[in-house]
Structure 1
Amino acid sequence: MGMGSPEALLICEHCDTVYRRQLLSRGDVACCMRCGAELERHHGLGANALLALILTALIVFVQANMWPIVTLGLNGQLSSTTLWGMIIAMWQEQAKVVSVLVAATLFFFPLMKMTMLGWLLWFARVGRRAPGFVPLMVALHRLGPWTMSEVFVLGALVAIVKAHTYFDVIPDPGIYAYAALTLLITIFAGVDLRRLWDDVPEQAA
């Protein structure tokens, strides 16, 4: 690209300092010299690889929500529950605000993020902008802090350890599926989605 083109420039989102874009090697991160904010980082994964990860995450997501999370045993009786069983139980126990937050952050927001990102990558793999590209990119930016699967997995592990004092606790496949989903979401969180603006430039009318 020509050094005079807009694609050759980087603008810091925090202090508006303008830089000329440089080619980054594996592991390199470009930071603003004025405020220290991250400008850009090298990404080895292309659109096809990210799309494959999204499809894998969707499969794991379905399994995590279908399989039981944990089984509790007391006096020879066993009881297991899924994520939605837990959400419904909290709703019935008058913890409606907590149940809504759990449903939003562990089900609806991650599902929305994966489907929107998959939609964008499906078109990006052939160098096109998906329909609704701009509002979807804005929505993905807003949803970023609200996917909390890693918080759930950590909290569930702590609860399992503490509950073991009073119950026979058996981790079920659902908790392992959520752990795998957390790993995949962590990979997505490290991807700078802003690069899609340059990878799939707006086509002239």
Structure 2
Amino acid sequence: MGTTSEALIVCEHCDTVHQRLALSRGEVARCARCGKVLQRHYRLSTNAMLALIVTALIVFVQANMWPIVMLGLSGQHNSATLWGVIIAMWREDAGIVSVLVAATLFFLPLLKMLQLGWLLWFARQGRRAPGFVPMMVGLHYLNPWTMSEVFVLGALVAIVKAHAYFDVTPEPGIYAYAALTVLITVFAGIDVRQLWRTPGVAA
């Protein structure tokens, strides 16, 4: 009896064909030729991954609505949201920086979460989502451009340094971004390639 395509896995780095293995908890399959990761064992079900994405979307909305930090000087206090900072940079002729911040901290993470949610919503029903192939390709290129963790680290450093000049009080937005960073880190480890095994024909 021949081996079906579902039982095979191709290394995306060197195109070597391997037989797909049933992995146990914590196990990782690597390419025999180049040593790159072929597949991992994941404990999260499709429903659990979808719930994680929905949670991340809720926290994402909160992080962008709530103030990030409050600055106090001579008895006056001002708080700022992420979009307040982006608009301020745009008005101060830092257009390129403001566009990059908006893209990497808002639009691209949002697009990634929406795409993952869309794909997982149909995967939990045992079928492929409309637009499956272009979305899977898009997710591959989006991964390096979601930089919420870089923003949180940079914001924490800026808060520490700003203490020398202002009264600085972290606001709920920064904590929401910290929680979002944890959630993004968790689902960044999801191997979306497993969705290719979802039954059905991609739209």
- Cα distance in structure 2, aligned partners of 1:126 and 1:202: 11
> Matches of residues 136-151 of structure 1 in structure 2 within 5 Å?
136-151=135-150
- State the alpha-carbon separation in 2 of the partners of residues 111 and 3 from structure 1: 43
- TM-aligned CA deviation for residue 3 of structure 1: 6.5
Q: Which stretches of structure 1, 4 residues or longer, exceed 2 Å deviation after superposition?
A: 201-204
Percent of pairs identical after alignment? 73
TM-score normalized by structure 1?
0.96
TM-score under structure 2 normalisation? Answer: 0.97
**1:43 alignment counterpart:** 42
- State the secondary structure of the residue aligned to 2:72: strand
Partner secondary structure for residue 165 of structure 2: coil
- Counterpart for residue 56 of structure 1: 55
Aligned to 1:201: 199
Match of residue 66 from structure 2: 67
Alpha-carbon distance, 1:202 to partner: 2.8
Q: Which runs of 5+ in 1 are unaligned?
A: none
User: 1:81-117: per-residue Cα shift (whole Å, max 9, x none)?
Assistant: 0000000000000000000000000000011011111
Following TM superposition, by how much is the alpha carbon of 1:28 offset from its aligned partner in structure 2, in angstroms? 0.7
Q: Write the distance in 2 (CA, Å) between the matches of 1:203 and 1:157.
A: 46
Secondary structure, aligned partner of 2:39? strand
Matches within 5 A, 1:166-181: 166-181=165-180
AA in 2 matched with 1:98: V
Q: CA RMSD in A?
A: 1.3
Counterpart in the other structure of 1:159: 158
The 2-side partners of 1:181 and 1:148 are apart by 11
Secondary structure of the 2:113 match is helix
Distance 1:175 1:3 in 2: 55
Give secondary structure in 1 for the equivalent of 2:168: strand
Quote the Cα distance in structure 2 between the aligned partners of 1:192 and 1:156: 29
2-structure distance, mates of 1:117, 1:169: 36
C-alpha distance after superposition, 1:169-193 (max 9, x if no partner): 1000000000000111101110000
State the partner residue of 2:87. Answer: 88
